Structure 1
Amino acid sequence: MVPRRGRRRRAWCRHRHHLACNEQVYFAQSGREVYCKHGGYIIERSHEPYEFSYNERADLWVMKVEASALGGRIRAPDRFCGMQFNAHGGISGLFVDMLHHIPQRFEAMSEEAREAVGLQLVDLLALSIHSDDRTLTSGTSSVRAAHLSRVEHFVRANFHRRELDPDLAARCCGISVRYLHELFRDTERTFGQWVRDLRIEAVKADLRAKGTKLSIAEICFRRGFGDVAHFSRLFKQQVGYSPGEYRRQSVLP
């Protein structure tokens, strides 16, 4: 993670922290235009064209995040592309502070430490986005979004439970099952698909973890899957490798 200088950089997500001066930078993508002020960051899609410019020399901090990694933590992260987020104070400030310190420590870190720090950065980014009020209101009414956010928080805290299903989520969140399904019609996945994808991403992180002594069956059960054979077939269908193959690939130099 190093500071970059220039007019254009390519990455799925970029967090541009304008450090050198108080000039704002201009960014436009997918019909959205924004002037990012000093102390902010922008999320972008690398596979789509964009415009980016500034009047004075600027230091740009760039962080590349896989869509699946961010999508496992935030529902439909594409809705936040082209938006400016304030990086002053709170969890956003912690995210930026950590981002700034990594280049100084990177060479001294082991591969295991680098991976752990990278995961923490993505977690902090997700928390930073969640802390923004627009997370509740973007793309739908504030009431529906508030219900959906409550469901999301419940699922993320409980997706290890095998009994997690629409009935349990709806009951614990104080809504009907029918309304729960209506909420997820506004997204690109059903409730069941979203829970499955969350679990798969958690399993991938477990399999990549250095030094873990957990067997694949233990990981399967602790992430809410009830049948190892079914889990293995689903994992290979989603990831392209069996769980064992994925674990071996992850430890290759």
Structure 2
Amino acid sequence: MSITLSTDTVPAAQQLDYWTEAICGVFMHLDVEPPQDGRQGFDGRIVQHAEGKLDLAEVLVEGHAVLRTNRQLHRDSEDSFFVMVQRDGESWIEQDGREGWMRKGEFVLLDGGRSYTMRFPHRIHHEVLKVPGNVLRASIRDPQRFTSCPISGASGAGRIFLGVLETLHDTAGDLDHGSAAGVADALVDLLSATIGTMSQAHVKVPSHLEQYHRHRVQALVQERMFDPELSIDSVAAAVKLSPRYLHRLFEDEKLTLSGWIWHERLEAARRALLSPAAANRSLTDIAYAVGFKDPAHFSRMFKATYGSSPRAFRLEIATNQSA
């Protein structure tokens, strides 16, 4: 079954709301940040092919941003992964403390069960393959190790994977239920083969006990992320583990546990500064709201991370919006 959802059929003043409902219906609940130029109207189109186990969508849309936030995580509990293929344009993607640009001809894996951010500075063309979490985990152990890591489709298994997707895009409407199931299984096998070539696939995988403790710690930190009293010692006490063991649990991650906490707080502050709804909130209020005890410390960390102070960042956003 194929469906097409397009803002072309909607009045300009309602197009952004329509788009938000469309992507939430096709994928999962997401927050949408509109383009920063302030103009009315929004241009986007989704074509979804869904037949049994096969769920493939094509997205063509102008620049904007989507966020899978903690608030949205609580609205649905669907366990799915998404393979995002960059057919045209470029995307900035962040999940699990890993961030970077995805260019044309690359693809990334995203976990719909955890928060992430995608920003598109200009118009993009994506293909999106949705894979149930239990299916992917049966083929790839701990697939969250590979999220937000751009994978090249220029050669090897990656090239074959993208080639099959491109062919499928043209023929998906002709597949019956049984054929679609076979193609879906083959795609997961190809994806597994491609991911197996990544350096992360050869890193020591934590034991089941270590994974259990990591999930406990991550759940606790997500719940208390903006609590100013949150610290490694308080987390360790809450989960009844030593601070030293906590550090060891996360030693293979790109960010330490403490670094991840500060990163998430700074990202929340940056989103607040970008939001027109928070234009009248003071910088001190934003700093306290995301877990900082000292506004000066917030300002120093923000500048060190993003290259400008919160005040200068907000001024630049306001200038761009009024230009």
* Normalised-by-shorter TM-score class: 0.5 to 0.7
Structure 1 unmatched ranges of 5 or more: 4-14, 23-36, 47-59, 93-114, 116-127
Structure 2 unmatched ranges of 5 or more: 7-26, 28-45, 57-81, 101-106, 115-119, 121-131, 146-204
Contact preservation (8 Å) 1:18, 1:39: no
SS at structure 2 position matched to 1:203 = helix
1:190 maps to which residue? Answer: 256
Give the aligned residue type for 2:302.
F
Alignment of 1:79-94 (within 5 A): none
Does 1:231 pair with 2:257?
A: no
Give the aligned residue type for 1:66.
W
Contact preservation (8 Å) 1:167, 1:177: yes
2:311 maps to which residue? Answer: 244
Deviations 1:99-145 (A, max 9, x none): xxxxxxxxxxxxxxxx9xxxxxxxxxxxx979975558854333212
Distance in 2, matches of 1:191 and 1:218, equals 25
Distance in 2, matches of 1:214 and 1:195, equals 23
Alignment of 1:132-151 (within 5 A): 135=142, 138=145, 139-151=205-217
Does 1:38 pair with 2:79?
A: no
1:218–1:176 distance in 2 versus 1, CA, 3 Å: same
1:204–1:132 distance in 2 versus 1, CA, 3 Å: farther
C-alpha RMSD over aligned residues? 4.2
Count of matched residue pairs:
168
Deviations 1:161-219 (A, max 9, x none): 11111111112223221211111102122222111111100100111111323200011
SS at structure 1 position matched to 2:271 = helix
Alignment of 1:1-253 (within 5 A): 19=48, 38-39=54-55, 41-43=82-84, 65-67=91-93, 70-71=94-95, 74-76=96-98, 135=142, 138=145, 139-212=205-278, 213-251=280-318, 252-253=320-321
Contact preservation (8 Å) 2:265, 2:290: yes
Contact preservation (8 Å) 1:160, 1:224: yes
- CA shift at 1:248, angstroms? 2.1
1:83–1:169 distance in 2 versus 1, CA, 3 Å: same
Distance in 2, matches of 1:175 and 1:168, equals 10
Give the aligned residue type for 1:244.
R
- For normalisation by structure 1, the TM-score amounts to 0.53
Distance in 2, matches of 1:199 and 1:141, equals 29
Contact preservation (8 Å) 1:18, 1:38: no
> Highest CA radius of gyration, 1 or 2?
2
Contact preservation (8 Å) 1:184, 1:190: yes
- CA shift at 1:159, angstroms? 1.8
- For normalisation by structure 2, the TM-score amounts to 0.43
Distance in 1, matches of 2:255 and 2:246, equals 13
Runs of 4+ residues deviating >6 angstroms? 128-132
Contact preservation (8 Å) 1:137, 1:145: no
1:163–1:132 distance in 2 versus 1, CA, 3 Å: farther
Distance in 2, matches of 1:184 and 1:21, equals 38
SS at structure 1 position matched to 2:273 = helix
Distance in 2, matches of 1:147 and 1:63, equals 39
Contact preservation (8 Å) 2:274, 2:314: yes
- Percent identity for Structure 1 against Structure 2: 25
- CA shift at 1:75, angstroms? 4.6
Give the aligned residue type for 2:299.
S
Q: Which has the higher strand share?
A: 2
Distance in 2, matches of 1:190 and 1:208, equals 27
- CA shift at 1:226, angstroms? 1.3
SS at structure 2 position matched to 1:189 = coil
Distance in 2, matches of 1:153 and 1:208, equals 27
Give the aligned residue type for 2:54.
H
Deviations 1:214-235 (A, max 9, x none): 2000111111111111211111
